[in-house]
Amino acid sequence: MPADRLLGTLLRSLQTYTDQQDTPRLLSTAASLLTTLTNPLNTTLLAAQLLTAPAIWDRPEGLQTCLQCVGAFHSAAIAVVKHEAEVRENGTPASIPGQVPTAPRLSPEDWVRAVVKGANERSERWKHLLVLGGLLIGLDSSDYEGIYKGLRRTLEEALVKAANLALEGVETGDELGGHCIALVLNHSFGLLSDYERAQLDYDRLLPVLIGSAFFSSEGFQSAYFLGIVDQDVAQVLDGKFGWSSKSTSYHQVERILSRPLVSSMGPLSRLIAHAGENVKDAWLIQMMMEDLAGFARTMTVQWRLNKLSEIESSEEQTLLHEDAVGNTLPKLWRVLKSAMFAIVIVLRGVMGRIIGDAVLAADGVAPVIVTQTLHTLRNLYFVSSRLGSNSFSQYTFTYLTAIDVLTNYSLQADAFLKHIKPVELGQIPQHPLDGCLDLFFLNTAEHFTLVLSPQTNEDLLVAAATPYLAAGGNNRLLPIFEAAHSVMLAVISAPQSAELTAKHLPFYVDALFKVFPTNLSPRQFRLAFKTLLTVTTPPSPISASQPLLPSTLLELLHHSALTASAAPLRADPAFPAPATADVAAPPLSEQAVLVLTLLDVLPSIPVATLEEWLPLAAALVNAVPDAEMREHCQLRFWETLNAGHMDAERSQLCVAWWNSRGGREAVLYGREGGMEVAGEGQGQKRVWLVWSLKEEEEEEEEEEKKKKKKKKKKKNLEVGLLGNTPFR
């Protein structure tokens, strides 16, 4: 069909909406026709009709319709540029004899101008972005975009101007217009130059982006979709709970994932963060923080009302139907993780700005913003804890920066911790979500012990940690157990908590030995005991009133090591090895860990006590029955003495003990069987272990050789001078 007749047919189809019509087919036909029209007036007419056609805009399918329009102009731009490139390379194709010659197509420059003229006053300004965004993306997608740099710069300038004008119009309540602005800028923002980006009206853009992404029907719907999910979660066979993949709520989750804004939430969240960093009115940041905090709070409330929140992640395989485990639940977590990642990226931009913005860093503003940040992260913790909150750097930066700023405001920090304290202090909650929030509280509270009063440390932090310290038998609470011990150590280490330390130290030491190794990792136990020795030795305040505490703790550790189990500890996935762990370390027993703990604290104890405990530590090392574990302890002993952990006075004492007081023999040969037992099956390691001994023997041998050589040379010299034999 000739282009003019096809144009007339298409224009008539665009004038009326029918239930049976196929909008994508109309737009596909329009995209093809745009590239073949030779009259610029017809091109302008068709572009204008696409922005006002009742067949498209009487009942639009939200952003799907907008995205289809952008795709039509994008495809047309690619086709025009590609055709022009073929003409430049191969020339204009010759016409067939007897056929009427066809008019030449428009050049890319003329074609773009003709299409842009279609974005006139008859259509809303936000629809102009569909044309400009589609053309700009099409030029960038082509292999020949470098030829049209001037044209591209013109489109960039026009797109930014159209966006600013459209932002003025959507303030009147045009919801689809705001969503369309967010969609087009999300796909084209990376193509804009730095100069054009700076021309955007970020003060108007930021609220539009936040509303579209988190609160609109094209985004996360204010997190209310979680309440719909609960209606379809029911008990099925064998007492398990199921969430059918045929349910209405599951299809709703699938639709959320397929939405244009949600499916591209990564770049959209970075655009929101960039807008937050560049708004001129700093008070808009506070409004955005309130919106995000409200969204995260709604997420937590809706999740608590969901039956799925009552099931621990470790129990999902046994309590949920296979359809829920394999199909429906992973899709739900994809939505929740997408929302969590987006919010964290936006908060990271706010934290970056608060560092250098004088208005946001003011004493009346900064604590409010960082408190809102921590509240938001707390309400998202049931999602981020499944991934590991330290697994991505954006979260870590946001979390630690907020804490660092809030520690400068002790009153606000005190009020914040009291606001997020456990619901029932002194008790372990039954609901998994409450346990998750307790974990966030403990992990956060340990950073504030230095700025809190001793009364708050005791009434709030110690009270929250106490029920977890001596608890056991529940593997799902193992991360909270470690967090509770970290809080206790942080409280005990605070300089203002000397009286508190003396009061609670006996209970904590008793709990420490009760829970290890069942509910406490070797790493945490060694850290805890080393911290206890540090806070009970001079110059800490408690050492003046309790001078015998270090010796008492060492005696307790020594006695426990002598009676501890020598069987290797079972590896527990809840206690992963730290990133700096020695990969060559063998599986250790409870006894070996206690021995290593004693070696860890040697640099921290007083000199007089150190002189007493060096031979006891050597004997304890040789009491380890397993040769591989014992050798690892011997290596650790040598590292403690030789790797710079001691100060000058302690180092001098250790050198004298090692070389002239039998320390070397006590460590290396203290066990019956001598060298054979100490190095059984580990010949190469034994050579390294006795390096100091062999080095000394080699030096003595070398010195003896030098003496013999010197005597021989003197004798030869004397003989040569007498003339009896030639001198050599």
pLDDT tens digits, 152-172: 899 999 999 999 999 998 866
**Cβ partners under 8 Å of residue 673, min gap 6:** none
Per-residue 3-state assignment (H helix, E strand, C coil) for 274-341? HHHHHCCCCHHHHHHHHHHHHHHHHHHHHHHCCHHHHCCHHHHHHHECHHHHHHHHHHHHHHHHHHHH
Are 536 and 542 in contact by the 8 Å Cβ rule? The answer is yes
**What is the percent of the chain where pLDDT is above 70?**
86
CA–CA separation, 226 and 298 (whole Å): 10
Task: Please give the pLDDT value at position 690.
Answer: 39
**Does residue 584 surpass a pLDDT of 80?**
no
CA–CA separation, 675 and 673 (whole Å): 6
CA–CA separation, 425 and 466 (whole Å): 9
Residue 217's pLDDT band (cuts 50, 70, 90): very high
For 242, list phi and psi in degrees, rounded to 5: -130, 155
Higher pLDDT, 265 or 689: 265
Reduced to 3 states (helix: H, G, I; strand: E, B; else coil), residue 235 is: strand
Highest mean pLDDT among 377-381, 560-564, 576-580: 377-381
**Does residue 354 surpass a pLDDT of 50?**
yes
- The mean per-residue pLDDT over the stretch 500-511 comes to 88
Higher pLDDT, 313 or 675: 313
- The mean per-residue pLDDT over the stretch 351-380 comes to 94
Task: Please give the pLDDT value at position 656.
Answer: 92
CA–CA separation, 59 and 515 (whole Å): 65
Residue 677's pLDDT band (cuts 50, 70, 90): very low
Task: Please give the pLDDT value at position 723.
Answer: 41
Task: Please give the pLDDT value at position 328.
Answer: 93
CA–CA separation, 359 and 336 (whole Å): 33
Position 127: which residue type?
K
Q: What's the mean per-residue pLDDT of the chain?
A: 85
Are 517 and 470 in contact by the 8 Å Cβ rule? The answer is no
pLDDT tens, 180-204? 999 999 999 999 999 999 999 999 9
CA–CA separation, 639 and 618 (whole Å): 13
CA–CA separation, 211 and 217 (whole Å): 10
**Does residue 684 surpass a pLDDT of 70?**
no
Residue 536's pLDDT band (cuts 50, 70, 90): confident
Residue 550's pLDDT band (cuts 50, 70, 90): confident
**Cβ partners under 8 Å of residue 497, min gap 6:** 449, 454, 457, 491
DSSP 146: G
pLDDT tens, 699-718? 666 777 666 666 665 555 34
Task: Please give the pLDDT value at position 365.
Answer: 93
DSSP 216: S
pLDDT tens, 337-346? 999 999 999 9
**Does residue 318 surpass a pLDDT of 90?**
no
Nearest to 160 by CA among 134, 188, 179: 188
Task: Please give the pLDDT value at position 712.
Answer: 60
Nearest to 546 by CA among 532, 557, 558: 532
Domains of the chain, by residue range, sit at 1-89+105-198, 201-360
Task: Please give the pLDDT value at position 698.
Answer: 58
- The mean per-residue pLDDT over the stretch 201-227 comes to 95
Reduced to 3 states (helix: H, G, I; strand: E, B; else coil), residue 682 is: coil
- The mean per-residue pLDDT over the stretch 629-634 comes to 92
Task: Please give the pLDDT value at position 66.
Answer: 95
Reduced to 3 states (helix: H, G, I; strand: E, B; else coil), residue 614 is: helix
Residue 687's pLDDT band (cuts 50, 70, 90): very low
- The mean per-residue pLDDT over the stretch 386-406 comes to 89
Residue 709's Cβ-count burial label (10 Å; 0-12, 13-18, 19+) is exposed
According to DSSP, the β-strands at 233-235 and 241-243 are antiparallel
Alpha helices (H) in 212-282, listed in sequence order: 225-231, 248-258, 260-263, 265-278
Residue 719's pLDDT band (cuts 50, 70, 90): very low
CA–CA separation, 728 and 725 (whole Å): 9
Task: Please give the pLDDT value at position 102.
Answer: 46
**Does residue 692 surpass a pLDDT of 90?**
no
Residue 332's pLDDT band (cuts 50, 70, 90): very high
Are 687 and 694 in contact by the 8 Å Cβ rule? The answer is yes
Reduced to 3 states (helix: H, G, I; strand: E, B; else coil), residue 461 is: helix
Dihedral, CA of residue 423, residue 425, residue 426 and residue 431, to nearest 10: 10
Least confident of 92-101, 131-140, 389-398: 92-101
This prediction has a pTM of: 0.85
Reduced to 3 states (helix: H, G, I; strand: E, B; else coil), residue 650 is: helix
- The mean per-residue pLDDT over the stretch 409-428 comes to 93
CA 294 to each of CA 78, 223, 245, 289, 416: distance values in angstroms, whole numbers, following the listed order: 43, 10, 30, 8, 16
Task: Please give the pLDDT value at position 689.
Answer: 40
**Cβ partners under 8 Å of residue 15, min gap 6:** 53, 54, 55
Nearest to 127 by CA among 195, 206, 198, 72: 72
CA–CA separation, 272 and 200 (whole Å): 13
Task: Please give the pLDDT value at position 603.
Answer: 92
Nearest to 500 by CA among 456, 539, 533: 456
Nearest to 180 by CA among 165, 192, 170, 193: 170
- The mean per-residue pLDDT over the stretch 420-445 comes to 92
Partners of 234 in the β-ladder: 242
Are 638 and 617 in contact by the 8 Å Cβ rule? The answer is no
Task: Please give the pLDDT value at position 144.
Answer: 56
DSSP 215: I
Interaxial angle between packed helices 393-406 and 329-356, expressed in degrees from 0 to 180 and rounded to the nearest 10: 50
pLDDT tens, 292-311? 999 999 999 999 999 999 98
Residue 100's pLDDT band (cuts 50, 70, 90): very low
CA–CA separation, 637 and 614 (whole Å): 10
Position 347: which residue type?
L
Asked if the bond preceding 467 is cis, omega within 30° of 0, the reply is: no
Task: Please give the pLDDT value at position 681.
Answer: 36
The helices-and-strands tally (H runs, E runs) of the chain is 39, 2
Are 305 and 297 in contact by the 8 Å Cβ rule? The answer is no
For 681, list phi and psi in degrees, rounded to 5: 70, 5
Are 233 and 225 in contact by the 8 Å Cβ rule? The answer is no
Strands (E), 549-590: none
**What is the percent of the chain where pLDDT is above 90?**
55
